[in-house]
Chain A
Amino acid sequence: MTPFAELLERLVFTPGRLAKTALLRDYFAHTPDPDRGYALAAIAGDLSFVAAKPAMIRQITEERVDPTLFAWSYDYVGDLAETVSLIWPTTAPGTAPRLSEVVAALHDTSKLAMPARVAGWLDVCDPSERLALLKLITGGLRVGASARLAKIALGEMADVPADDIEEVWHGLQPPYLPLFDWLEGRAPKPDAAGAPVFRPTMLAHPLEETDAAALDWAAYRAEWKWDGIRVQLVATARGQRLYTRTAEDISHGFPEILAAMDFQGVLDGELLVMRNGVVAPFGDLQQRLNRKAPGAKMLADFPAAVRLYDILIDGDGDLRALPFDERRVRLEQWYAAHRPERMDLSPLIPFDGPEALAELRLGARAASIEGLMLKRGDSPYLAGRPKGPWWKWKREPLAIDAVLMYAQRGHGRRSSIYSDYTFGLWRDDGVLVPVGKAYSGITDDELNFLDKWVRAHTTARFGPVREVEKALVLEIVFDAAQLSTRHKSGVALRFPRISRIRTDKPAAEADRLDSLMARVPPSGVAKGEALADLES
């Protein structure tokens, strides 16, 4: 438990992805089996046992601690597991159990015996071990590390591409001994044959003006870039899975897609909400993404579908080495043969030179379309983001002039710089309401300017946040706007970033909330959850 607790404690305070990976790498390299495998499973969310309920934790604590002091402490700390980990009286000598012992015992312990078992562990742990234990058994580590990040760390440790680990991952179970044996050279690569495992996705680069100028347009095919999320459909004799492009398994959230995967193969496409063949705004898909197990009403109100654009494996045949044009023919043949429900083909868009395509892109204002994809006809399906074969050519972003309201210091390299900005628009009654937050889009010089400006125009401080005079206009560009009940303004922006600092514009002349509302596509009522959850 001790190394696991130390790892969690460092991860929770470490903002940088590189630093997090280094911490994970060090842990996996220096922790023995099977503990490290169970830690990997805990981080990946792959551990399953009957989780202890917070009420039980509270009860065993109240048996040992004065209830008044416990209540005050909980008020002060604000987190039950943390409060208990700190306030628990250390009574028994001894050392913390190993993570593998805890996991094994949790499988064997009856609900009735659980309180005594947990209390016995807490007695011999120190506060940081207690916290790790409590987070483990109540489910939810919340340390800002994903399965993908852990696999990247493992890959770095063993000098193996993380995508190779993905290929074998879903055939393995905690504590993944064959995986570690392979990574450390004691055994061959685990055989994933027949298992519905993820295949690394091919990604596109954004097309900049300089790229466009040099492009051999005749070599490329064009498709619409749909505003959904990229998914991979994997179906074998051993099961069906739906993965995101980062290998997250989202099968449980989309049972109707799984039910329609009555074939064997691996396909690449866009997950969308579609009603009668019409793509709904992204906000509708968001409703589904927020639910791990959608109910009947959710399934009926927000029906999911997949628009296919590539085929990686057909039956036993791996098609990834074939050029795009041949794969496209195979995809169309496959689709004609299977006609799976809830799936259609993303059409190729015929075009006649760059000017015609540029015009198409300009005209692409439908909410369901983000822009264009350009794919070289002779390109094989390659893992990762090779530059050249695939381009994404997004439509021009929307822009608003907003007023800077709050600024917050960043993390790591930016920890001394006010680099996170909340901006707002004017409401009819003359009140400025926040509509979003942006961290990116500006040069280092502009960042320094804003940092100085924030320090010189602070009106109030709330922890690491400063409120500033409502006097500086920022031009914000974003990909789309949609309604949100979670934001005070009632609207949320997708991918907002700062494009310019408008020192030339008085704050009173910044945009009004109405003008942003006018750009929200109809029918995209997002209930409850906000965009920021998925995109941050």
Chain B
Amino acid sequence: MVAPHPETWLRVLPQGLFCEPGGFFIDPLRAVERAVISHGHSDHARAGHDAVLATPETLAIMRARMGEGRAGRVQQPLPYHEPITLGGVTMRLVPAGHVLGAAQIVMEWRGSRAVVSGDYKRQRDPTCAAFEPVECDVFVTEATFGFPVFRHPPPEHEIGKLLKSLTLFPDRTHLVGAYSLGKSQRVIALLREAGWDAPIYIHGALASICALYEAQGVRLGDLRPATVAAKDKFRGAIVIAPPAATADRWTRRFNDPVIARASGWMRVRQRAKMAGVELPLIVSDHADWDDLLSTITETRAPEVWVTHGSEEALIHALSLRQIRGRALRLVGYEDEEASEEAPDELASPPPEPGQHLAPLTDAP
């Protein structure tokens, strides 16, 4: 018997990507009966589902961010690598390397295998399990940085820039804008690895997630709230805050701060300048261009579906490698940082790549 092509059992519905024989949605965009969630960022983990299956870490993150009642009426934890069968579909969760608990969803049905990556990265991250490639017939990938200009340097190099700046400007507060779930904790952990033992001050929005990471065994060291009461301690200190707060009146408690930002978007100067950043740190939790292509090669998938990001460029690059690419156009996923950007930055969308061209879709 010929294995059924995944397009016969994985469908795009208005709610999101649906595994028909399994009867569940993956990272649905609105409330559904049964949801499998790849990771805790709010564009993937939405509130109000009835039954939710995810890694125990992701469920803990959802409860911390949404409150007990809204993170799914029935929660089913599934540790990495443990298979489970749902309506004849064998499913397991495999580390995606994106943030704590982030998983790829590996599904097999009647001898055909599809992997939904969720968001992922290949760079080392001391705060979460590393990505594991899984061979498959269809690889469903993100493409947040699906553009050949996005090539992330080693994160240690970027942390080195921050530490060097602290020696150059020892009196100035270094205020690092970093997404509150994942990026903040990774930056803190990288700083600890680099030998920064001093207290790190954190914005209130980070407190609960940092505590959760600590409870899951990720060591973040001495963290203190960046309250006005601590004002005199900020000289030469590192403060971590959500990106929007670094452009807000909140920053006025700091003395002549160096505004840094840890984000893959910092690779492009105009983006960094628009955000009013003085010290761009190219630290991303998404695969860069080279890692997207090498990961796709490792999965040996003959066909790749692209969920969100710059799908045109990636699909074009795949066609040059004789790999069939398809844009799923799941409206609603975004770079998680966009949701924590200052409203100002959101108001002016980045230029769309190749926007003068007709959209490339579903090239047969």
Chain A interface residues (CB < 8 Å from chain B) = 6, 10, 12-15, 19, 22-23, 26, 65-66, 68-73, 75-79, 82-83, 86-87, 126-127, 409, 411-413, 415-416, 460-464, 466
Contact = CB atoms under 8 A, between A and B. Distances in A.
Contact of A461 (B247, B259, B278, B343): B343
Q: Closest 9 CB pairs between A and B?
A: A461-B347, A86-B149, A463-B348, A72-B354, A76-B353, A416-B251, A73-B149, A87-B148, A72-B353
Nearest to B164: A6
Contacts of B235: none
Interface string B209-228: 00000000000000000000
A71 B149 CA distance: 11
Contacts, number: 109
Contacts of B313: 69, 72-73
B320 A66 contact: yes
B151 interface: yes
A13 B147 contact: no
A40 to B, nearest CB: 19
Given A409-B276, A411-B276, A463-B345, A82 B269 contact: yes
Nearest to B245: A416
A71 B312 CA distance: 13
Contacts of A126: 153
Interface string B246-265: 01111110001101000000
Interface residues of B, number: 47
B12 interface: no
A69 B277 contact: no
B273 A13 contact: yes
Nearest to A87: B148
A16 to B, nearest CB: 8
Nearest to B350: A76
Interface string B272-284: 1110111110000
Given A69-B317, A75-B353, A76-B149, A15 B251 contact: no
B268 A415 contact: no
Most buried by B among A65, A66, A412, A464: A464
B151 A462 contact: no
Nearest to A23: B168
Most buried by B among A70, A73, A87, A411: A73
B267 interface: yes
A461 B317 contact: no
A86 B267 contact: yes
Contacts of B147: 72-73, 76
A416 B313 CA distance: 36
A461 B274 CA distance: 13
Contact of A87 (B149, B272, B344): B149
A134 B355 CA distance: 27
A22 to B, nearest CB: 6
A461 B269 contact: no
A3 to B, nearest CB: 11
